[in-house]
Each structure stands twice: as C-alpha cells, then as structure tokens.
Amino acid sequence: MPLTHTQSPYSEAMLARIEQSEARVIKAIFPSITNHHNTLFGGEALAWMDETAFIAATRFCRKPLVTVSSDRIDFNKAIPAGTLAEIIAKVIHVGNTSLKVEVNIFVEDMYQDLREHAIRGVFTFVAVDDDRKPTQVWPPHT
Ligand SMILES: CC(C)(COP(=O)(O)OP(=O)(O)OC[C@H]1O[C@@H](n2cnc3c(N)ncnc32)[C@H](O)[C@@H]1OP(=O)(O)O)[C@@H](O)C(=O)NCCC(=O)NCCS
C-alpha cells in the first residue's frame, strides 16, 4: 500500500522518520503458541501485530499512543509449528493525531531458504496527552 499523508507541505523529514521507525520482530513457532491444527493461533498473531505496529508508531512520534482500530486482517497462509515468523510494521499514513501502520507477517522455513507472505493488517493509533485527549503526532517528540 502506498504511503499517504495529510500533512502539508509534503515533508522529506517525515518520510525519513517513517523509514527509521520501521519495526521488525522475529519469532520461533513453538508448540505453546499453536492451535489444534498445529499452526500458529490467530489471536497470538494479532497480539504480535498490534505490538509491532505500536513499536513502529511509537518510534515515529515518541508520544504516548493508544490503539483505536484495526482494519481487515487477512490470514492468507497458515504458519506451521517449527517455522520462523517475521513481523514487519511500517507507518503508511500520518494524520493529525492518528497514524496508520501496515503489518505483514512472513513465514520462513527453518531448514531451507524459503519465505512466504502469510498475514497482513493495518492498525490505527492515536497520540494522547496527559489528559488522554488526542494530540498531534507530528512533529515527533525528541
Ligand atoms: C483514541 C481516543 C483517545 C480517540 O478519542 P476521540 O475523541 O474519538 O478522538 P477524535 O474523534 O478527535 O479522533 C482522533 C483521531 O482518531 C481517528 N479515529 C477516531 N476513531 C477512529 C477509528 N475507529 N478508526 C480509525 N481512526 C479513528 C480520527 O480520525 C482522528 O484522526 P486525525 O486526528 O488523524 O484526523 C479514544 O477513542 C480512546 O481513548 N479510545 C480507547 C483506546 C484504547 O483503550 N485502546 C486500547 C488499549 S491501547
């Protein structure tokens, strides 16, 4: 999905910040997190996605954030026990007080160079002030 933004004027600094704030987490799929199909439990994947998206959004603005919504989550491929899963989160939309973060999970075989896309979703976060009221995400707190 292409980056969109509602900030004006268009900012190179913002684009650089988006690149820097990308978050990557890698997990081993052990039996404790699989379901009765011997694949990753979907709820576990959702928690990882929300957390990794939160990390990217926090790196972007360095302000307190809350999750306000998630868009459709597509589970395109099951993630079997005994594989690796890489979660990659990147800011794709900068609003006034909100940020949208796209999260993709890739499944990777442990014993051969095989990597496939498995899950995609988008999470929206809102920056909040001390009174838990929405506050601007840009410029970032430094
Ligand atoms: C997030 C929260 C502070 C927003 O308060 P609000 O009064 O609805 O805020 P506003 O209507 O002023 O909207 C603020 C921003 O959020 C966006 N937003 C609000 N609801 C949204 C939704 N359901 N989906 C996507 N974006 C949403 C608005 O578009 C706006 O974005 P912008 O400033 O970039 O244009 C409030 O809804 C809240 O506290 N929710 C609970 C959050 C929570 O507990 N999360 C789980 C644990 S982290």
In a domain, 117, yes or no: yes
For residue 139, tell me if it sits in a domain. no
Instruction: Supply the pLDDT for residue 4.
Output: 62
pLDDT of residue 142: 84
Q: Per the domain annotation, does 136 fall within a domain?
A: no
What are the angstrom distances between the C-alpha of 128 and each of 4, 60, 86, 99? 22, 14, 29, 12
64 domain-assigned: yes
In a domain, 48, yes or no: yes
Q: Supply the pLDDT for residue 9.
A: 45
In a domain, 112, yes or no: yes
Q: What count of residues does the chain have? A: 142
Instruction: For residue range 9-37, list pLDDT tens digits in order.
Output: 458 999 999 999 999 999 999 999 999 99
Pick 34 or 5 by higher pLDDT: 34
Q: Is the CB of 124 under 6 A from ligand 1?
A: yes
Q: Which tens digit of pLDDT belongs to each residue from 35-87? A: 999 999 999 999 999 999 999 999 999 999 999 999 999 999 999 999 999 99
Q: Is the CB of 64 under 6 A from ligand 1?
A: no
141 falls within a domain: no
Instruction: Specify the CATH number for the domain of residue 71.
Output: 3.10.129.10
Token pair for 115 = 């990597």
Closest CA to 51 of 27, 74, 33, 34: 27
Return the ligand 1 atom nearest residue 98 CA: 34
Q: pTM for the whole thing?
A: 0.94
107 CB contacts (<8 Å, ≥6 apart)?
77, 79, 80, 83, 84, 85, 115, 116, 118
pLDDT reading at 107 higher than 50: yes
Q: Does residue 89 lie within any of the structural domains?
A: yes
Q: Is a pLDDT exceeding 80 seen at residue 3?
A: no
What DSSP assignment string belongs to 86-124?
A: EEEEEEEEE-SSEEEEEEEEEEEESSSS-EEEEEEEEEE
40 with 31: CB under 8 angstroms? no
- pLDDT tops 70 at residue 6: no
Residues 129, 136: Cα–Cα separation, whole Å: 9
Instruction: Give the residue numbers spanning the domain of 72.
Output: 4-127
Q: Output phi, psi for 57, to 5 deg.
A: -65, -40
Mutate which of 6, 68, 93, 128 to test ligand 1's pocket (most atoms within 8 Å of Cβ)? 68
What is the number of domains present in the chain?
1
The pLDDT value recorded for residue 97 is 98
Above 90 in pLDDT, residue 7? Answer: no
Q: Whose CA is nearest to atom 40 of ligand 1?
A: 68
The answer to whether the CB of 97 is under 6 A from ligand 1 is yes
The CB of 66 under 6 Å from ligand 1? The reply is yes
